[in-house]
Amino acid sequence: MKYEAVIFDWAGTTVDYGCFAPVQTFVEVFQDYGIRPTVEETRKPMGMLKWDHIKAMLGMERIRSEFVKRYGREPENRDVDALHSRFTEKLLKVLDQFSEPKDYVCETVAALRAAGIRIGSTTGYTDEMMAIVAREAKKAGYEPDCMFTPDSTGHMGRPYPYMIFCNMEALQVTSVAAVMKVGDTISDILEAKNAGVTAVGIVEGSSELGVSRAEWEALSGTAREALAREVEKRYRDAGADYVIADIRGVLECVADSTL
């Protein structure tokens, strides 16, 4: 069946190579709270609604133990609220610096539109955060046809499928079989699977890869291949239908559907 719409994630997929804006901010706010999360712990829930992300981190055994040792009690929702408030305040101050479209995004989107495919988007950011990201990305040439955040779905973000369904309604898509969702986290893949649409994981510049452009380019070809295989396995294990090196691979996935 021919695809009618491709729905992209934002940070790590279409903007913010390596998805560093939220990662750095999560680490900072937990450190402000007297807890030092690892980058691996911080990235594991990436793609979720940010409140849910913080709650997931507080539920991790090592972080929970640190919290109990420091505060003498189990973490509660009021702690999630406090961390989330601080996270939002810090992130809003830096988002405009992390909104540049990744390589090949504008060209790929133009090619999709030329093929009659509509462009949607979902995110773990809030409306307030996306007002900044979308504004800056538009200045640089990237603007999807529609955008939905967890604010649009009663704060039920990934892995729930509802943001995808909002896109489908707005884009007037006829079937889940005609939709492709592209993202850079396991949460993106689960969102797509729960919606019944084609799930695509992107490797380069992704949160799952977790390296900067400079770090990636400094690696040997062998090291790049090994890291890419690790990321692909995680995507495949989560149910990804396709795994692509960069966003240009979406065009190959679309072409594959017409064979």
For residue 53, pLDDT beyond 80: yes
* 87 closest CA partner among 33, 10, 41: 33
Structurally, at CATH architecture level, domain 20-96 sits in Orthogonal Bundle (1.10)
For the segment 65-108, what is each residue's pLDDT rounded down to a tens digit? 999 999 999 999 999 999 999 999 999 999 999 999 999 999 99
**Mean pLDDT value across residues 114-124:** 97
Give me the pLDDT at residue 258, please.
62
Q: Among the options 44, 50, 102, 181, which is catalytic? A: 50
Q: Specify whether the CB–CB gap between 224 and 182 falls below 8 A.
A: no
Q: Has 9 been labeled as part of a binding site?
A: yes
234 φ, ψ to 5°? -65, -40
Q: Specify whether the CB–CB gap between 29 and 18 falls below 8 A.
A: no
Catalytic (active site) residue 50? yes
Give me the pLDDT at residue 46, please.
87
Question: What confidence tier does 1 reach under pLDDT thresholds 50, 70, 90?
Answer: low
> The whole model's pTM is what?
0.90
- Type of residue found at 38: T
**Secondary structure (DSSP) of 155-171:** T--TTSSHHHHHHHHHH
Q: Has 184 been labeled as part of a binding site?
A: yes
Judging by DSSP bridges, how do beta strands 242-244 and 179-183 pair with one another? unpaired
Give me the pLDDT at residue 49, please.
87
**Mean pLDDT value across residues 53-68:** 96
For residue 224, pLDDT beyond 80: yes
Catalytic (active site) residue 127? no
Mean pLDDT for the chain? 95
Question: What confidence tier does 177 reach under pLDDT thresholds 50, 70, 90?
Answer: very high
For the segment 204-223, what is each residue's pLDDT rounded down to a tens digit? 999 999 999 999 999 999 99
- Is 5-19+99-256's fold the same as 20-96's? no
**Mean pLDDT value across residues 120-136:** 96
Give me the pLDDT at residue 257, please.
72
Give me the pLDDT at residue 219, please.
94
16 is written with which tokens?
């913010």
For the segment 24-45, what is each residue's pLDDT rounded down to a tens digit? 999 999 999 999 999 999 999 9
Percentage of residues in the chain with pLDDT exceeding 70?
A: 99
For residue 189, pLDDT beyond 90: yes
- Domain positions in the chain are 5-19+99-256, 20-96
Fold of 5-19+99-256: Rossmann fold (3.40.50)
Q: Has 245 been labeled as part of a binding site?
A: no
